[in-house]
Amino acid sequence: MEQQLLSTYQHIYNLSNQMIALAQSQQWDALIELEMTYLCAVEKTSNFVAANGSSAVLQEILHHKLQRILDNEAELRRLLQLRMDELKVLIGQSTQQNVVNNTYCQFYDQALLLGEPQSR
């Protein structure tokens, strides 16, 4: 029983390492898919831990693994925040480009209405 619990924590830790690798390589779709597997593993573990007691030695080992998992989650949040910041910049640039394009089109259309030939 204790070995199974330890194995489950190791599996969660391995998944969190894979998620960080995916975020670092900007494989966002794969990261989202793996996140569902990760969340299911965490949920199963929480149910398993609640149903079973564990020795002090095992609790110490699990505490260490859990700390490593939490460290990975903090790193993943940092990487995701960087990605969100990048997306905000891209959205801002796209919005500015749309404003410029719309303004240019308005001036072009007004020039056509006034009979001024314009080259596009």
Per the CB < 8 A criterion, the answer to whether 24 and 79 are in contact is yes
Residue spans of the domains in the chain: they are 2-113
Range 29-53 burial, b when 16+ CB lie within 10 A, else e: eebeebeeebeebbeebeeeeeeee
Per-residue pLDDT of 66-119, as tens digits, reads: 999 999 999 999 999 999 999 999 998 888 888 888 777 777 666 666 666 555
pTM over 0.85: no
For residue 85, count CB atoms less than 10 angstroms from its CB and return exposed for 0-12, middle for 13-18, buried for 19 or more. Answer: exposed
2-113 in CATH: which number? Answer: 1.20.58.380
